[in-house]
Structures are given as C-alpha cells and as structure tokens.
Structure 1
Amino acid sequence: MEEHVGGWWHDFITRHSEQRHPEAAVALADIQQLLGIWFRALGGDGGLEIATADATLSNARRSLLQRMAGTQRKTELAWRDENALRLPPVIDIFPNPQLNRDLYLWLGALAAMDDESTDEPWFRHNQRISRRALERFPGLRDKYLDLVQAHLEQRKLGHWPADEIAQEQAIRRALIEPGSMDALPPSRRMPVPVPLWLHPNPPQATPMPAAEPPEDPGAGGGKVKELEEVARKQTEKAETQDSDRGLITVRMENIFSWGEHVNVDRGTEDEDNDERADEVARDLDKISVTRNGKAAKTRIRFDLDLPAEAEDDEIISDDLMLPEWDWKKRQLLADHCRVVELVARDAQAIALPKRLDRTAAKLRSQFQALAPARVWHRARPDGEEVDLDAYLRYRTDRASGCQVAADNLYRQMNAGARDLACLLLADLSLSTDTWVNDESRVLDVIQDSLYLFAESLAATGDQFGIYGFSSRKRDPIRIHTIKTFEETYNGRIRGRIRALTPGYYTRLGAGIRYAAERLKDQGAGRRLLLILTDGKPNDLDQYEGRYGIEDTRHAIQSVRNLGFHPFCVTIDQKGNDYLPHLFGSSGYVVIRDPMELPGQLPLLYARLTAQQH
C-alpha cells in the first residue's frame, strides 16, 4: 500500500510540476531533414550537421512544486559548436504542435545568423542575431511574435527579489523588441531559461593531452566494447584521484553524490562494469578526465591493430606523402599523410560469380551501345579501300594541269574512342563489415558493384582504374590497388576484388588526393573520379567531425581545380546531411537500398559520362 501511494504521489506531483505538453510534442527526428535544408538555405554553415542537444543544469528559480518533484533542474536549449547545430530532441513546451514546430524553425534561423562572437555577452548576442534574422527574413516576424506571446504567458512573475524581477523584465522587453536592452541587470540567480534563444553557456569539450602508455598494456585482458555515440558532454582535466586513501579524508556529503571521475587512458574507458561506464557517461553533465597506468577487466577501445606483415597485402610503395587541410589554421599541411600502396598477395584468376552472370550480360549489352561506332578515316596514304572523293579530286587537278602527288588516296575503317578516363575509389573501412541483411555484408555489396562496374566499362573500351582505401590515422593511408589504368580487366582483377577485406577508418581527403595523383597521369580530355562510400569521413584522431569534413571538401575543390569531375555514390542514409557541403547538390547520389548498388552503379556511370560526352 505504501509503495502504491508513493507511486501515485510521484506521478501526481511530477505531472503538475512539469510545464510540458506531450500531446503536442514535435520530435527532432521527424523534422531533422527539413531543418537541415532550412538552416543551410538561410545561410547557415553547410559543414554543420543537425544533432540533439544534451540537457544541462540550470540554476534558475523553480516553483515549490518543481522543487518538491525534483523537476526542471535541467533544461534543453539550442547551441552550435564546430561540428553541429544542436537542438532539443523533443519540443513540447507549447500546447499547440504548430508552435513547437515553428520554434524548431526559429532556432534554425537564429543559428544561421550566429557568427559565434565569443566576446559578446549572451544577452546582447541573442538579441543581435534575433534582430538580424527578422531584418533579413521579414516573413518570420509573425511566427516569432506568436512564439514570444505564447512564451511570455508561461513566464509568470512571483514574489521574487527585486533584482530577479528587474532581470525578468529586461528579458521580456528584449524578446518583444530585440536589441532594445544593452545589458542584463545583475542578479544572484540565473534567469529562467529562454527557449527562443541559444544557450548562454553551451558545453565545451576540453581536448585531452597525449597519454602515457599504461604500466601493463596487457593487464585486464577482458572483453572489448566500442563506445557508442553519446551527446556532447562538458569535460575538464583533473588530477589523478588516489583511490587508496582513507575514508577519513573524504567529505562525507560526497558519498551520496554522483561519482564524476572517469578514468580515460589512451582512448580506453577502464571500468569493471562496461554497462555502468556507458550509463554514467550518458548521465553526467561534466566529465573529469585524468591519466593513470591502471587497467581494468573491461576496456572500451577505439584503436585497431594492423595485421601481421605475412598476412597483409603486398606493399608496392610506401614513400608517397600527401598534404592535409587544417581548417582551424586555414593552412595546407605539406607531407602530412603517408600512403602505403598495396596489392593482394597471390590473387588467383577467377570467373565472374554465377549469381551476376545475367545482370553482367545485360549491362555489357547496354554499355556496348555507348562505345563509339566504327568510322571511316579518309585521305589516308594507305587503307582498306580507295577514297573515291580524294581520287576524283586528284584526277580533276591533274586534268586541269596542276602537278599534285598521288598520295592520301585511301580510306581506313577504325573504331572510335571516347576521350574519357574514370577512377573508381572504394571505401574499405571497418564499417563495410556490417550486415545489410542476413546474407550479405556491405563489403559483399561493394564487391558485386566492382565486378559489374568493371564488366560494363570493359565493354565500352573506356580507360578506368579501381582502387580501395582505408586509414589508421595519417600514417598509414592504405591504398589497395585493384586495377590500374594500364592493366586489362581479366580474371586476376576479379581475384583481387574477391580478396578485399574490411580495413580501418575513412580519411577520405587523403584517398581523394591520391586518386587525383593517378588521374593526372591519364591523357584523356575528360577525367571522372567516382567515389563509393558508406559513411562520413572519420579517423582515430581529430579527423572525426568538422576537421575531416573540411579536409575532404578542400580535397574535392582541389580536384575540380584540376579540371576533373568528382562524384560520390553513398549508401549512408544520412548522406544528405553533409554531402551537399562536400560535393554540391548535384555531385552525389544516395542509394537507399544497398542491395541495389551493384546494378545502379554502372547505370549511374553511363548517365554521368553521357552528360560529359
């Protein structure tokens, strides 16, 4: 009975303390694609993705019911960082779902105006970008005023101290007329959060210094688990805590608080209970990180080991160095990435897999129609037949008394040729080891795509090369040679395709720069770089996030400056979020069903080359 009454009381007090309207809720997941288009159309940074914002602690005044229920301690506000525009996962603060949806759109417009002026107080900064958004997009004014009116009805003044009342009145006036208030009156307490503005103090991550290797790298020897993506947390560096000190030195009130110290060592999370480590990381608002040399039974690892040399592909070359773009420094770092070129050891010649015979025959028939028709080359010194036009001109000139030589009187039938070269660059990162269905991995789909692509292009006579790539930081960038431009497509090339295995990470900028070096050697007038991938650029170091996106974008622009035509084919369902920033609106395609990729890739090539021909 006691538990029943307690549960009833908890539900009652929580329901009456929460200022939420779940029946009118709008989820970010339902509007995320629209918001991405909206944000970029209004001038927002194309390199930012749309992501969820983590709830942060608020020191604002709470009502008696909220304090009793323990609610409203955290709030979800929007902010942007170098990687993403972060928005609340659900907005349900208004009873009207249209208002909740309009709030998402307003926050997107506000973030598009944000120039990240870190030296400007948040109160003045939010007013300035609000006024800027309303001036640039007058059509937003009615929606904004409706949001302000609905929100002001929720901001009820109570019997507050004079300083808090003055602060609240300043916020109200700033909402109604952005730019009218220069500064927020001082108060001992933070004001009630403003969901129409960006976060006044968004979480900022602190980079960790390089860690010392643990005393016993092999200790623990337990299972390995990958850490899943979590919301952005605020971090701080801290001194190593001494777990052996006596209880007498610990403040007793800390015994019942959340433990905020997390051991992080060389990209590993040391914790005896891996599920608990994951839960704690998600619940904390700020994570303190230090270094120590201890290992635990379970370790969440982010690194991968390279295979032994005897089991790895054969190294062709390892001395090519490539640059990389540092978007923060606005500088191209020369000789930053080392390329290791590999080829499959002892790849045996094989026939085309039987399951692809029918599709390959159909594609070969279609692609043979793309090959230029055989044409007569006239006025040749020798050839298959006499060129009647040239001979008649010769006899006419002689009859008129002109002394002309009896040469170039034949014609020769030769096959035409398309002045075109294509390099297919395939992403062979670890993610290709995931399963598409119960029978096929992503890598299996990529292999079938390469088979059919090569069969099709061999039918046209076009020059083409096929390479795969993966990376493990900037050294090495592993380039797998599948078919060079000089090689003829045959059973051995098919054997190399079959020998492909999942690699490591996706340093896409380096892969693109390597492909450009190979295309430079081709004399064709039109050169196409076709990129096949299943996800975003990423690697173990800072390449994850905005750094990798901007380096890839710089590499693509460099390829275009050379006169080449880059085009991306991806099976990443989130590709529309970042590929327009990299390749432009017409420089990529997202294949929704990965199983359709093998048949679609050759046809896509046919359309691309038809446009260029």
Structure 2
Amino acid sequence: MEEAVGIRWHKLITRLAGNGFPAAQIHLDDEGPRLAMVFRALSGDPGLTIKASTERSINTWRPLAHRLAGTGRRHALAWREADALRVPESLAVFPDKRMNRDLYLWLTAMASLAESDTSDDWLQANQQLVLKTLAAYPGLTGLYQRLAECLVDIRRAQRKLPAIQAAREAVLQAALLTPDNLSRLPAAPGEPWPVPLWLYPRAEEVRSIPSAANDDGKDGESNGNGKVRQSKQRKQGRYIDDPNKRNGLMIFRLESLFSWSEFVPVDRCEDDQDDDDAERIAEDLDYLTLSRNPSTSASRIKLDMDLPSASEDDIPLTDGCLFPEWDWKQQQLKDNHCRVIPMLPRNAEPAPMPERLGALANSLRQRFEGLRPQRVWEKRQPSGALLDLDACLHHAAQVRRGRASSHPALWRRETARHRDLSCLVLADLSLSTEAWADNTHQVIEVIRDSLHLLGEALDAGQDDFAMYGFSSRRRDHVRFNLIKNFAEPWSEAIHGRIKALKPGYYTRMGAAIRQATDILKDKPAEQRLLLLLTDGKPNDLDVYEGRYGMEDTRQALLEARQAGIQPFCVTIDQQAADYLPYLFGQQRYQLIHQAAELPSLLPKLYLLLTGRAN
C-alpha cells in the first residue's frame, strides 16, 4: 500500500513540477543534419560539429513543487567549444513544435558568429551577440522577436519569485525583448533561471594533474576491454588526488565509533566483467570523477596493442618514407613528422576468388567487359592495313589540280582507344574493422569482399588500378599494406593478399592519403581517382584524434586535389554526415547504411565516378 501511494505521489508531484511542453518536444537527432547545413551556410567554422550538451547543475531559486519533486536543479544549455557546438539533446521550451525548431535554428545562427570564449559579463555578451546576429541576418528578426516574447510570457506565468530575484528576472526579460538596451544584472542570491535563447560559457575544464606511473607522458589510451561505449552527451570531469601520495587519512564511522587509519593502495584483483549499469549510472552523474591509479585498465591495453614480433608481423618492404603532418593549432606543416612503412602480408598464398562471390563476380565481369575501350578505324593515316577509298579519291582529285601532297595519307588502321584513367583504392584496416557490421558480417570481411569484386570488375574493364590498405600506431609507424600496385596484373596472388588482410591498429588517415597521393602523382593519366574505404574518423594513440586528426586529413585531401587527384570516400560510419562534408566536400562521399551491400554497390559507384554509368 505504501509503495502504491508513493508511486502515485511521485507521478503527481513530478507532473505539477514539470517544465516545458512534452507534447511539442523535438530531438537533435532529427534536426541535426538541417542545423549542420545551416551552420555552414552561415559561414560558421566548418570544422565544428553539432553535438548534444549535458545537463548542468544550476543553483537557482526553485518553487516549492520543484523542491518537493527534486527537479529543477539540472538544465541542458547551449554553448560553443573549440571543436563543437553543444545544444540540448531535445527541446520542449515552447508549446509549438515549430517554435522549438526555430529555437534550434536561432542557437545555430548565434553560434556561427560567437567566439569559443565568452566574456565575463554573460548578460551583455549575449545581448551584443543577439544584436550582431540580427545585423548579419536581418531575416531572423521576426523569428527572434516571436521566440523572445513567447519565452517572456512563459517565464512570467510559471514563476512567482521573491522580490530580490524578481528584480533580477525583470532585467533579464527586458534584455530579451530589447537587446539593444545593454544593462547589468542586479545582485541576488543564486543564479538566474536559464535562458534557452542565449549561449552559456563552456563547462569547466578538468584541471591538469601529473601523469600516472603507468603513462608514457605522450599518449592517451582507451579502456581495456576493447568495447567503447559512446554517449551522445558530454560529461564534466574532475580528478581526485593520487593515493600514491600516501599523505591521506580516512575517517571510518561504524555507528557511533570513530577510527583513524592511513590509506594504503593495496593491489587488489579486478573484475574484468563490464558493469551493465555503468552506462546508466554515468548518465545520471553531474561529474565523472577520474583517478590516476597504477592498476588502470589502460595499462592492460598497452600490452594488447603492442606490435607483434618480426617473425609474425607483415613483411616491411623498406624502412619507410617521411611525410609532413598538419598542426591545425599552429597552422603549419610539421616536416618529416610521420613515417609510412610499405608492408606485404606475410604468408599470403595465391588463392582463387571465394566461391560464394563467384556469381556476383561473373555478373560484374560481363558488365565491365562491355565497357572495355572499343577498337576504331582511323582514316587518312600515313600507314595501315587497308586503303582508305575516300582518301584515295581525294588524292586523285588533288593530283589533277596539281595540289597533291608528296606524302599522301591513304591508309586506314585499327586502334584501341584507351581510357586515360588511374584509380587507387585505399582501404582502412584499423582495429575497428574487427567489429561486426551486422549479425553475420565483420567489417573486415565486408572490405575483403569489396576488394575482391571491385578488382574483378576493374580488371574486366581493363582499367589501370592499384589497391592498398593502411593502419597506424603513432606517427612513426604508419603501415601501408601493398595489395596490388599499378604494374602488377590481377591474379590469384592478389586474391591471396586480400584474404590475408587483417585488422591492424589505428587510423592515421592523413599520412596514408599523402602516400597514396605520391603514388598517383607518378601516373600521367588525365583522370586520377583516390577511392577511400573506411568505417570511422581519423584517430591514433597520440594527439591524432578529434579536431587535430580531422584537420590533418582535410589538409592531406586539399594537397591531393592540388595535385590533380579526385578523392572520394565510401564509409559505413553512420555518424559520417557530421564530418565528411568538411573533409571531402559535398557530393564527394557515400554513406552505406547496410554494410553487407558494400561489395555489390562499390562497382556501381565506380561507374558513376568515372562517368560511365548507364
């Protein structure tokens, strides 16, 4: 009985204390592509992505219903970071869905003109940003006025504040309605109720601490079980003191008994099993508290990801070549920063095409054989196999006129017109390709099948092509796996190399693209295509992640275009639309929603890229 009453009471008080309009709620997942397009159209930083923000605890005055229900403490706000625009994961501020969509649009427009750092005066900074936004985009004036007036009406109707907080609220409402009337907030206890039309300062940064004993001082590691759980929200973090300092005391209370003892960091056994509730608990926490401890799971991954012995590893063909890398913070190229090592799969024995791909391979060969360069008869040639009757008649007429050439072109010869095209296929062989693309296929299996079938198709069409794979482990070990170079014929030896491909390490994409660009530069073809197959973002163990890796990849692609090479990306990463337009440009990438479809779709895509689709 008590439990039933408690459940009903909880539902009642939560409903009475509820904020917003759930019936009109919209989600960032649905609006994200539109907002990304608007952000770039408004000349926002193209390297920024739009992501969900986490809720923050705000010490603001709350009505009695909120205090009884325990709500109103945490709020999802919008702010801008160096590499992302953070907006609430969902919006239900207004009673109309259209107005909530307009709110997302307004925040995006403001962020396109905002700096990553805000001034100390949050109120005046937002007023000035509103004026700047309206001056740059006058068409948003009506939208802003409509949102501001509705928000002020909602705030007036929902809260009856104490006198001192009411005075501050009046200033906020006046600033919303008339942003050109710059003012300062009067002092009042706590913080004002959040304003969803404005941008907030970034969440507090995690303070830096000394490296742990098991860190090498350069690289960050991931969790040790190989399974990465990603949240759409960003959590605030803070570090606690390292227990190795041995200067802490613990207070232990057992009923009314107090005892004091020194904390000793005993090396206890760890449970390698995942906590099924860990993800849910992390979502509920305001802060994620981090500790540097000698027995971290990251220390295990260093052993797992170490390079194999020379006798078990792929065969290095040379000591490698040095390539530059783009440092986007310093806006300069670091010369000779990365070493790319060409490698050949070990124990790759010649093998036929997999039988399960035979029917599809035959179909592709028949289609591409019909696209082979056709042999044509060239007329009026100085030499050839047959006389050209038209040329002979024309020459006889010129002889009668006295205008005949002393070296008449009277012959016909048959020649083949070759397509002036070279294609290099670059496959991502990072560790993430070991994951399952669906219930029956691993990503690496999908990539192998795609290379088998695409090679069969290009060989049947007599196109000039090469195939390579890549992965990396820091900047001094970028593996560039040889599958087929331009000089080798398509054969069972190539099929054997494809079968021997296996997941490698990380994805230092910029260095691999620069190596592929150098190879294609040596081809004199008029059309040179770089086709990249990948399943995720650029990343590596060191600083090569996030914005750094993306900017270096983008710079490498710009260098390829300047060399006359056409890069194109095919990916199965479902979040690729957030970053691939910035890297490759619009219409220069293809997202595959079903990984199993890649082997059959890739040859069709190749025909489109080379302008030979029916």
- What is the TM-score with the length of structure 2 in the denominator? 0.86
What is the CA deviation profile of residues 234-265 of structure 1, one whole-angstrom value per residue up to 9, with x for unaligned ones?
33455314689543499x9xx9xxxxxxx9xx
1:214 and 1:452 mapped to 2: Cα distance?
44
Per the alignment, residue 124 of structure 1 pairs with 124
Deviation, 1:596, is 2.1
**Partner SS state of residue 579, structure 2:** helix
Query: How much identity, in percent, do the aligned residues show?
Result: 43
The CA RMSD over aligned residues, in Å, is: 3.4
Letter matched to residue 341 of structure 1 = P
Deviation of residue 193 (structure 1)?
0.9
CA distance in 2, matches of 1:577, 1:306: 32
The offset of 1:112, in angstroms, is: 2.0
Equivalent residue, structure 2, for 1:258: none
CA–CA separation in structure 2 for the residues paired with 1:419 and 1:298? 52
Cα distance per residue 1:133-189 (max 9 Å; x no partner)? 323333333332232222212324645353x34422221111112232143334442
Could you tell me how far 1:30 is from its partner in structure 2? 2.5
Contact 1:173 1:181 in 2 (8 A): no
Letter in 1 for 2:250: L
- State the distance in 2 between where 1:206 and 1:226 align: 27
CA-to-partner distance for each residue in 1:463-508, whole Å, 9 max, x for gaps?
1111111122323111111110111111111111111112222222
**1:40 pairs with 2:43:** no
Is the contact made by 1:271 and 1:298 (CA closer than 8 Å) also made in structure 2?
Answer: no
Deviation at 1:578, TM superposition (A): 1.6
What is the CA–CA distance in structure 2 between the aligned matches of 1:402 and 1:470, rounded to whole Å?
Answer: 68
Call closer, same or farther: CA 1:297–1:207 in 2, change over 3 Å: closer
Residues 6-405 of structure 1: pairs in structure 2 closer than 5 A: 6-119=6-119, 121-156=121-156, 158=160, 160-162=162-164, 164-205=165-206, 210-213=211-214, 224=225, 226-230=227-231, 231-241=233-243, 245-248=248-251, 274-275=274-275, 278=279, 281-295=282-296, 304-377=305-378, 383-386=384-387
Deviation at 1:212, TM superposition (A): 3.0
Contact 1:272 1:297 in 2 (8 A): no
Report if the CA contact (8 A) 1:371-1:416 is conserved. Answer: no
Q: Distance in 2 between matches of 1:551 and 1:107?
A: 29
| Equivalent-residue separation in structure 2 for 1:207 and 1:488 (angstroms) | 55
Distance 1:280 1:581 in 2: 35
Equivalent-residue separation in structure 2 for 1:317 and 1:159 (angstroms): 74
Which one-letter code corresponds to 1:54 in the other structure?
T
Which secondary structure does the structure 1 equivalent of 2:320 belong to? Answer: strand
Q: Any unmatched runs of 5+ in structure 1?
A: 216-221, 256-262, 264-269
Amino acid at match of 2:91: I
1:339-365 Cα offsets, whole Å, 9 max, x none, are: 121111232222222332332233223
Q: Verify the 8 A CA contact 1:303 1:540 in the aligned structure 2.
A: no
Residues 207 and 518 of structure 1, relative CA distance in 2, 3 Å threshold: farther
Preserved contact between residue 380 and residue 408 of structure 1 (Cα < 8 Å): yes
User: Is the 8 Å Cα contact of residues 272 and 298 (structure 1) preserved in structure 2?
Assistant: no
Structure 1 residues 270-294: Cα deviation after superposition (integer angstroms, max 9, x where no partner): 8888526655544443345453324
**Do 1:110 and 1:133's aligned partners in 2 also have CA atoms closer than 8 Å?**
yes
Which SS does the other structure have where 1:470 is aligned? strand
Do the aligned residues in 2 keep the contact of 1:426 with 1:531 (CA within 8 Å)? yes
Which blocks of at least 5 consecutive residues in structure 2 are unaligned? 217-222, 259-264
Amino acid at match of 1:436: A
Instruction: Give SS of 2:311's match.
Output: helix
| Separation in 2, partners of 1:390, 1:56 | 86
Other structure's SS at 1:424 match: strand
SS of 2:532's equivalent in the other structure is: strand
Residue matched to 1:473? 474
State whether residues 83 and 546 of structure 1, in contact with CA within 8 Å, keep that contact through their aligned partners in structure 2: yes
Check the 8 A contact 2:224/2:297 in 1, yes or no: no
Looking at structure 2, the residues matched to 148 and 287 of structure 1 have their Cα atoms a distance apart, in angstroms, of 35
| 1:57 positional shift | 0.9
Using the TM superposition, name which of 483-492 and 314-323 deviates more: 314-323
1:454 matched to 2:455: yes
The Cα shift of 1:451 comes to: 1.4
Note if contact 1:225-1:299 (Cα within 8 Å) is conserved in structure 2.
no
- Mapped to 2, the partners of 1:452 and 1:227 lie a distance apart of 31
Q: Which residue of 2 aligns with 1:520?
A: 521
Give aligned pairs, total: 589
Moved more, 279-288 or 516-525: 279-288
User: Hey, what's the Cα distance between the residues in 1 that align with 2:415 and 2:400?
Assistant: 32
The alpha-carbon distance between structure 1 residues 29 and 297, as it changes in their structure 2 partners (threshold 3 A), is closer
**Deviations 1:378-400, CA, capped at 9 Å, x for gaps:** 66665433456676777788888
**Tell me, what secondary structure is at the counterpart of 1:421?**
strand
Displacement after TM superposition at 1:300 (Å): 8.1
Q: Which amino acid aligns with 2:17?
A: S
Secondary structure at the residue paired with 1:453?
helix
Distance 1:299 1:486, change over 3 A: closer
Change (3 A) 1:599 1:328: same
